[in-house]
Amino acid sequence: MEKGITTPAFDFKEVDQEGLETLEAISKANHFNEWMYQTIRPHLSGHILEVGSGIGNISRLFLRDGYRITLSDVRDNYCQALERAFANEANLDGILHLDLVHADFEQQYAPHIGTFDSVFALNVVEHIENDALAIANTMRLLKPGGRMVILVPAYQWLYNRFDKELYHYRRYTARSLGALYRQNGLRVDKTFYFNAVGMAGWFYSGRVLNKKTIPRGQMSLYNKLVPVFKVIDKLVLNKTGLSVVAFGSKA
């Protein structure tokens, strides 16, 4: 965590209604989901674990393209939704109820320790108060030399009602996310920002309009303009964005 950031206090919600509404809105954004998927896909291979699969917005793209993948979530209702959606997929290697900060993580998940070639978590770590422990336990699931991809919200100055309603403990920078990797012995191969234009929408709807969840109409319009936004990310050289991504590997 960066200096000067006060961690909010949240109680775990067994059913996260705001999170579900957000995931459902994003589920309709096919161009946006494809953009995110294509951004991380080249850095993942072998047996993949998705941490925090939610309702499967990105999961379905890995399954579509024939990747061997295990899905996971900490909430039972999401695990059940994943089961309903993907149980018959040939490449699905299982659905795991996974708590990254379980008090006895190594014993609880002993069959999975050191078994994955790649692990990714998109918009997950910001929901966990002890993010360092979450990264450490994620690393434990990797084989030696395994790859880790983490995407989290960027810039604490963007923290607004959206973040509070979604139970985000913090937002990150490339430096703070890279530091989390290094303190857990992970090599940082690359960090960069993603979705520069998204910052304006997040600020306007969450700070100016004080909305609780992302408006579906706004997400629909954004989805249509993704080809333009991808070009803008290239023009700014991925030096700024609504999210920050780190690619790394286990020694």
Q: So where are the chain's domains?
A: 17-250
17-250 domain in CATH 3.10.50.40?
Answer: no
Q: Is 245 helix (H, G, I), strand (E, B) or coil?
A: strand
Q: 3-state class of 170 per DSSP? A: coil
Q: Which residues of the chain have pLDDT under 50?
A: 1, 3-4
State the pLDDT at residue 92.
Answer: 98
Residues contacting residue 208 through CB under 8 Å, at least 6 positions apart? none
Alpha helices (runs of H) in the chain, residue ranges in sequence order: 17-27, 30-40, 59-64, 76-86, 105-108, 131-140, 161-165, 174-183, 198-203, 216-224, 226-235
pLDDT score, position 15: 67
**What is the value of pTM for the model shown?**
0.92
Strands 243-250 and 142-153: antiparallel
Name, in order, each residue with C-beta under 8 angstroms of 234's C-beta and a sequence gap of 6 or more: none
Residue 35 corresponds to which tokens in the numbers above?
Answer: 């953009």
pLDDT value for 207: 86
| Token pair in block for residue 132 | 């360092």
Question: What local confidence, expressed as pLDDT, does residue 35 receive?
Answer: 98
State how far the alpha carbon of 7 is from the alpha carbons of 13, 59, 201, in Å.
Answer: 18, 30, 24
Spell out the residues 6+ positions from residue 51 whose beta carbon is closer than 8 angstroms to its own. 72, 98, 100, 119, 120, 121, 124, 138
The reported pLDDT for the residue numbered 148 is 98
